[in-house]
Copies of this chain bind each other. A is one copy, B any other.
């Protein structure tokens, strides 16, 4: 046969960019159609490459999945942390409020992100690596929350702080899941208000009114090129 003659032209890219592109493509597909939509072929098409390339950068599809899951979970914790650290260190109540509120607006609470979380979570039941990532990111988030709680102006009591951190974390998780998966069942800002009221009651703290109206979204920040 006279040979196919046509072969898709391509550009060589740095390893880091290709890995990031593939992770982003996998996340986008999972957000849209769940884990079963993130096939090797679909990921490659979304990233603008051919399926074979995935195995050039990841030993298996499983490895790419692990990288994507880790990325999703860590970026949520970092987003909340960044919000809290934007406030003065000598106002622990405001810092805690900012940390909480950040979980209930984009880019953290969106149907897409909640969908990705739910899709990946069920993989943790059989895949030990996924389970370890879940455990590490969960405990990491909770430890940050416990630090903020421990910084409140009141007598120290580590055991109480631990229990309260678990409770606050659970309340945030539950509200985040339902607010993200049933967005039409709640008014704008309602979930955020319920979270602040509930945590305020559990901790015996009254958050300032400014914490309730904060709807700033930092998701369009550009990172240095």
Contacts and interface: CB of A to CB of B under 8 A. Distances in A.
Q: For this complex, into which size category does the number of interface residues on chain A fall?
A: 35 or more
| Number of copies of this protein chain within its complex | 2
Q: Which label, helix, strand, loop or mixed, suits the secondary structure of the A interface?
A: helix
A29 to B, nearest CB: 12
A37 B111 CA distance: 26
A209 B23 CA distance: 50
Contacts of A121: 118, 122, 181
Contacts of A91: none
Interface of A: 33-37, 111, 115, 118-119, 121-126, 134-135, 138-139, 163, 166-167, 169-175, 177-178, 181-182, 185-186, 190-191, 193-195, 197-198, 201-202, 204
Nearest to A168: B198
Contacts of A119: 122, 125
A138 B178 contact: yes
